[in-house]
Amino acid sequence: MDIAGGDERGTTERVLTLLGLLQQRRVWSGPELADRLGVTSRTVRRDVERLRTLGYQVRAGQGVGGGYQLGPGQDLPPLLFDDEEAIATAVSLLAGAGGAVAGADDAALRALTKLDRVLPTRLRHEVRALSDAVESFGGGRTPVDPETLMTLARACRDEVEAGFDYPSGDVRRRRRVEPYRLVASDRRWYLLAYDLDRDDWRSFRVDRITEVSARTWRFHPRPAPDAATYVQEGVASRVYPHRARFLVHAPAETVRAQIPASAAVVRQRDNGYCEVLSGGAELDFVLAHVLLLGHTFEVLDPPELVKRCHVLAQRLLAAGKTISPPPAEDS
């Protein structure tokens, strides 16, 4: 039994080595692969068939320029990385998750959590050192600490409680949460979590989180709100002292192109209209932003904003009357 087990492990290691070679170069001849693996060409052919059975599209060409090469398949099979490739991939994903790569965000973080599950411990300090040396300039998402982001991502993935310090007024308080999802906006990363001390759902800005730690205590996931919707509504309106709803006479896709997702929630309505939910320190500022969209609109809520519309309209009319009409042109 031990000999058979050893033969099986030897075959598995050889097939994985063959896969790594095929991923390194476009085309290998049969004799080249046999020489690198220390086997016969017949064994190479058998190992190629094993890879095909696992879903890898290995092509075999004849004649000059022919040989074995990996081709695209219907599904994405596992990839093999050496240490340098794993480090480079992890650092690139951290840059994408941190906002340095436009459009990468969520997909980069999902890929990073998968890589994190199998990344050898000996490589983690090298990934951290390299990620600290990567910066970007210009606009984009508020930078976050990679370790904080990864710790929270692991906690969400493994369904374990997390603790961290978070600002509340002028002081930082310890929060205990059941982390649910990380959500990327156009400007920042947010954590949607169930706050155990406040017994309710909360969203937290990841760039404000410090001293984060994940426990080994697993929790049973609660029925949760839609993460992206909850965070967007909180960012756009719930955190402000004043909130307002408008019916805008334009399609939702048109209005979404005019308003950042962090500034308002836009919902499609019938007849080509949309509903805009937004908030601000003053209702007049919210009203002015909707006015500047350039579409006909109606105030849905709150009632006092209707009165402000009349007051501001009269003020604008009065301002227009003080301007002298332009002189008539000579005929």
Cα 153 vs. chain centroid, distance in angstroms?
A: 11
The mean pLDDT of the chain is 81
Instruction: Note the pLDDT of residue 128.
Output: 67
Q: Provide the 8-state DSSP code for 330.
A: P
Give 263 or 296, the one with higher predicted confidence: 296
33 vs 43: CA distance, rounded Å: 10
Between the alpha carbon of residue 154 and those of residues 42, 148, 260, 323, the distances in Å are: 45, 10, 29, 63
Q: Alpha-carbon distance 6 to 189, whole Å?
A: 48
Average pLDDT over residues 45-62: 88
Residue 213 has pLDDT above 50, yes or no: yes
**What's the Cα-to-Cα distance from 197 to each of 202, 230, 290, rounded to whole Å?**
11, 20, 38
pLDDT higher than threshold 60 for residue 100: no
**Given a cut of 50, is residue 4 above it in pLDDT?**
no
Q: What is the pLDDT of residue 70?
A: 84
Question: What are the tens digits of pLDDT across the range 313-331?
Answer: 888 888 877 666 666 666 5
pTM: 0.57
What distance in Å separates the CA atoms of residue 226 and residue 240, rounded to the nearest whole number? Answer: 21
* Angle made by CA atoms 63, 64, 70, in degrees to the nearest 5: 80
Q: State the pLDDT confidence band at 228, using cuts at 50, 70 and 90.
A: confident
Mean pLDDT value of segment 1-20: 68
Where does the pLDDT of residue 77 fall: very low under 50, low under 70, confident under 90, or very high at 90 and above? low
Summarize pLDDT for 247-285 with one digit per residue, the tens: 999 999 999 999 888 788 899 998 899 999 988 888 889
Check if the beta carbon of residue 162 is closer than 8 Å to that of residue 153: no
